[in-house]
């Protein structure tokens, strides 16, 4: 970790990219990104892929400048690419080659000598969870396996920085969880800086510690994940009956809870509600059906208004605005219970009762 000390990992200044005269993919984007697991969020067409391609030196910016590791992307593209890995959004694997052959070939193209390329290939494929099947032709792989190979080829030369473009594309829920877990390990255990582009905020916030949101090629917000947490999610507690009683008890305990059909929706500020909900349900003896973390939509999270009124009809299960809950909210948020173990892993789905 010698390289990341002085300059920012990534820095752009008034970065603009136009395709022809009609399409502006990036519009004067100025942002600085420090090492860590950084989520690059934005809806489709927001300019995420364009930004990554410019940082890789695959596209030239129309105007403005960008640097990775302090190296200018236009003039030092080769030097930058020596130290970064890239997992493209789209399919990019030759179907008639085996995962081992593809990854070790690409390792050599990245400058690893033959023996090292083979060793690193075996190791990296093991890390991403490909075993016997790595000798078979990729044409017969599932989407999940292909995504793993794509990730492996980005990792094989031990980059300092990894660009992942929509890494959970096309994966089923289990595959998504595994991919996110893998990304988290890469950023923490492996010690590699990661920039993950995604339009699914709910996924990205599970692994990132910093978020950069862009929309229409402009920077919407760039901040540590912690500063977003006041509105990161909703916990839906579905019980067969006794919703009112549960909501009362939870409100009394300092949470903001409202009844929504058969479920009680709780503002998820930190991990504390999990314990409280579990204990409360146990005390009341309520038949619990499921416990589920619901995701906010991207627009809700990045809206700069004082709160997130359920302005869009897309998520009927939206919580009442945080401002209303302010009386109760800060108390709950202020002191996260030390050492509290969440009853369920955040967001990992359901607890069947």
Rg (C-alpha) for the chain, rounded Å, is 22
Backbone angles phi, psi at 234, to 5 degrees: -130, 135
Q: Are the C-beta atoms of 277 and 266 separated by less than 8 Å?
A: yes
Question: What letters, b where the CB count within 10 A reaches 16 and e where it falls short, cover 280-292?
Answer: bbeeeebebbebb
> x/- string (CB under 8 A) for another protein, residues 138-177?
---------------x---xx-------------------
In whole angstroms, how close is the CB of 314 to another protein at the nearest point? 32
Assess 18 for contact with another protein (CB under 8 A). no
Tell me how far, at minimum, the Cβ of 230 lies from another protein, in Å: 28
- Establish if 26 lies at the interface with another protein (CB under 8 A): no
For the CB of residue 58, give the shortest distance to another protein in the complex, in Å.
6
Q: Which residue in the block uniquely carries the two structure tokens 């940082």? A: 55
Which one of 60, 123, 172, 279 is in contact with another protein (CB under 8 A)? 123
Q: Which two tokens stand for residue 186?
A: 């890469």
Least distance in angstroms from the C-beta of 18 to another protein:
14
Which residues lie below 8 Å from residue 341, measured CB to CB, with a gap of 6+? 275
> Nearest CA to 12 among 23, 24, 36, 28?
28
Six-digit token string for 200 = 């699914």
Binding mask 99-118 for another protein (x = CB under 8 A): --x---xx-xxxxxx--x--
133 binds another protein (CB under 8 A): no
CA–CA distance, 237 with 224 (Å, rounded to integer): 28
User: Between 101 and 299, whose beta carbon lies closer to another protein?
Assistant: 101
What is the SS3 assignment for 31?
Answer: strand
What residues between 39 and 98 interact with another protein by CB under 8 A? 53, 56, 58-59, 77-79, 81-82, 84-86, 88, 90-97
User: Helix or strand or coil: residue 54?
Assistant: helix
In the complex, least distance from residue 63 CB atom to another protein, rounded to whole angstroms: 19
- Only one of the segments 38-46, 168-176, 183-191, 307-315 lies at the binding site for another protein (rule: CB under 8 A); that segment is 183-191
> Which parts of 110-239 fold into alpha helices (H)?
114-127, 143-155, 173-188, 201-207
Binding residues for another protein (CB under 8 A)? 1, 53, 56, 58-59, 77-79, 81-82, 84-86, 88, 90-97, 101, 105-106, 108-113, 116, 120, 123, 127, 137, 153, 157-158, 185, 188-191
């Amino acid at each position: 970790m010698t390289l990341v000390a002085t300059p920012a990992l990534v820095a752009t200044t008034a970065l603009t990219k136009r395709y022809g005269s009609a399409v502006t993919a990036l519009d004067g984007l100025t942002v600085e990104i420090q090492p860590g697991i950084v989520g690059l969020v934005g809806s489709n067409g927001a300019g995420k892929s364009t930004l990554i391609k410019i940082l890789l030196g695959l596209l030239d910016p129309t105007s403005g400048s960008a640097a990775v590791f302090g190296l200018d992307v236009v003039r030092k593209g080769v030097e930058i690419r020596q130290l970064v890995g890239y997992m493209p959004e789209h399919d990019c694997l030759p179907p008639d080659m085996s995962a081992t052959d593809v990854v070790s070939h690409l390792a050599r193209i990245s400058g690893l000598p033959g023996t090292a390329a083979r060793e690193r290939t075996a190791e990296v494929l093991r890390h991403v969870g490909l075993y016997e099947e790595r000798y078979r032709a990729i044409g017969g792989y599932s989407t999940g396996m292909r995504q793993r190979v794509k990730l492996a080829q980005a990792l094989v030369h031990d980059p300092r920085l990894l660009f992942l473009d929509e890494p959970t594309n096309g994966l089923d829920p289990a595959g998504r969880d595994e991919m996110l877990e893998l990304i988290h390990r890469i950023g923490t255990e492996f010690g590699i800086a990661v920039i993950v582009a995604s339009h699914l905020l709910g996924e990205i916030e599970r692994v990132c510690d910093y978020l950069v949101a862009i929309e229409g090629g402009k920077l919407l917000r760039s901040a540590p994940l912690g500063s977003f947490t006041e509105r990161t999610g909703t916990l839906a507690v579905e019980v067969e009956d006794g919703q009112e009683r549960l909501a009362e008890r939870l409100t009394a305990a300092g949470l903001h809870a409202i009844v929504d059909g058969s479920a009680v929706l709780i503002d998820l500020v930190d991990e504390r509600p999990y314990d409280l909900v579990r204990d409360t349900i146990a005390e009341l003896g309520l038949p619990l059906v499921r416990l589920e973390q619901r995701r906010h939509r991207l627009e809700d999270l990045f809206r700069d208004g004082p709160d997130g009124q359920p302005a869009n009809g897309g998520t009927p299960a939206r919580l009442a605005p945080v401002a209303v809950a302010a009386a109760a909210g800060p108390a709950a948020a202020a002191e996260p219970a030390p050492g509290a173990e969440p009853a369920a892993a955040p967001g990992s789905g359901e607890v069947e009762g």
